[in-house]
Amino acid sequence: MNLQEAARDHLWLHFTRMSGYQSAEVPIIVSGDGCYLTDSNGKRYLDALAGLFSVNIGYGFGEEIGQAALEQMRELPFYTNWSYAHPRAIELAAEVASLAPGDLNRVFFVSGGSEAVESAWKLARQYYLARGGKQVASGETRHDERVGTPTPRKYKAIARQIAYHGTTMGALSINGIPALKETFEPLVPEVRHVKNTNRYHRPPEETEAAFTAMLLEDLEEAILAMGPETVCLVHMEPVQNAGGAFTPPEGYWRGVRELCDRYDILLSADEVITAFGRVGHWFGSERYDIRPDIVCCAKGLSSSYAVIGAVVVTDKVMEPFLEGASMYSHGITFGGHPVMSAIALKNIEIMKREQILERVLENEDSFRSTLAQLLDLPICGDLRGTGYFYALELVKNKETREGFSAEECETLVRGFLSPALFERGLICRADDRGDPVIQISPPLVAGQAEFDEIVGILGDVLAEAGKRMSAG
Ligand SMILES: Cc1ncc(COP(=O)(O)O)c(C=O)c1O
């Protein structure tokens, strides 16, 4: 088969301007090893994005994981979690529960990140119904006794501006990126977006404490404006990816947790990227002591060797679903798929054996200081992130922190950076969903040699970008 021709004629790439490939070659990646990929022309690339922030153990464990998949295929290729259990889903649920902080003890499997977010919001809506007539802090009941039917009083969600949470209708509605949503409106009611933890464009004299206070005030205002008795979910990432690796300021998560407690709202940590090592812990919630009621995870759970995600909840959230006829009215055919579960179990075994988390914690300072060399370039305004999860914000004027216009971003990101980096054999993402950033998130097996290569290529390409943008 002529792969180029068939790709052009039949394959529909996600989030891709397909017109660009009428005349240009479709990039076809054919193999991977460690932190590297090879395309159909034999060219090698350093994958500084770990697939999509997801191939945490790198590409080199195919044999071992394949063997686990094969054994599971032989034993039981598929069975469902609809009313039935099977050994691998049970073992994986127990393993994830043992790694998750606090009493996050119950695991509902799904097929990916969007489904996890979708399931978290549905679960939060149903949780308040399932908790039923019990009195809550506001003194109101959750059932409308007059008509005898449950009324979904608490159904709204709060997320943060510019945050990406997936593409299915519920997850898309939770997204804070207007451009992604407009095409598909009307969306699922009802979501508000509060300020994210991007500090770069705040007044330089603002203290960290004042920044945190401003963010929490904004969140509380949103809760009050929506009506606390109608809000079921606050959904946020430990470190926000879209916009460029926004880490939380001191006291932020403690404050978010307190507000959720005060207004009786479930706190959901979107750990689709941060779980399973990306920030040096099994869960970002542990690193930042978030104490969520719900955790969404996917990508790193199997290092993307399998199609699997999970919603992990605390004993408190599970409690009303353990009573009487109560049932979470939700399911997905492939949730907890035995082969996917076997792969995820093997991935976790490899992560433990290879001491992947320890490696991230050991290397994170040297990774940061290597990347920080790029701050010498006039176009590099800010370096943000933690663990193996970083972003560089690109600016027009470093003194004033002035960014690029939409038109300039188009020229910079799509017109120059993306093709230039790919041409130089480096896969990372030039992203302008918020201010333009380069996202750097390599496999967790990367070391100093890869850090140096990333910075070498990025340094050349960004220096050239700076010249072009100031010349233009
Ligand atoms: C934070 C976050 N949530 C949800 C998703 C959606 O995951 P998926 O693409 O597996 O549906 C993503 C994907 O990048 C993500 O980064």
**Alpha-carbon gap, residue 285 to 237, rounded angstroms:** 9
Q: Residue range 185-191: average pLDDT?
A: 96
132 pLDDT tier (thresholds 50, 70, 90)? confident
What is the per-residue pLDDT for 149? 53
Supply the pTM of this predicted model: 0.95
Please name the residues in contact with 449: beta carbons below 8 A apart, sequence gap of 6 or more.
none
What is the per-residue pLDDT for 275? 98
Q: Say if residue 472's pLDDT is above 80.
A: no
Q: Ligand 1 within 6 A of 441 CB? A: no
The ligand 1 atom at the shortest distance from the C-alpha of residue 299 is 10
The ligand 1 atom at the shortest distance from the C-alpha of residue 115 is 11
Q: Residue range 134-151: average pLDDT?
A: 46
Q: Residue range 381-407: average pLDDT?
A: 94
119 pLDDT tier (thresholds 50, 70, 90)? very high
148 pLDDT tier (thresholds 50, 70, 90)? low
Q: Say if residue 289's pLDDT is above 90.
A: yes
What is the per-residue pLDDT for 414? 86
Q: Say if residue 8's pLDDT is above 50.
A: yes
Q: Say if residue 470's pLDDT is above 50.
A: yes
Q: Which residue has the least CA distance to atom 4 on ligand 1?
A: 165
Please name the residues in contact with 57: beta carbons below 8 A apart, sequence gap of 6 or more.
303, 347, 350, 351, 354, 356, 443, 444, 445
Average pLDDT, the chain: 94
Let me know how many helices (H) and strands (E) the chain has, helices first: 16, 17
Q: Ligand 1 within 6 A of 114 CB? A: yes
Characterize the bridge pairing of strands 294-297 and 437-440: unpaired
What is the per-residue pLDDT for 139? 38
pLDDT higher for 44 or 153?
Answer: 44
- To test the pocket of ligand 1, the residue of 164, 240, 332 to mutate (highest count of ligand atoms within 8 Å of its CB) is 164
* 34-84: pLDDT as tens digits: 999 999 999 999 999 999 999 999 999 999 999 999 999 999 999 999 999
Centre of ligand 1 to C-alpha 52, Å, is 9
Contact yes or no for 302/320 (Cβ under 8 A)? no
What is the per-residue pLDDT for 136? 42
135 pLDDT tier (thresholds 50, 70, 90)? very low
**Alpha-carbon gap, residue 84 to 78, rounded angstroms:** 12
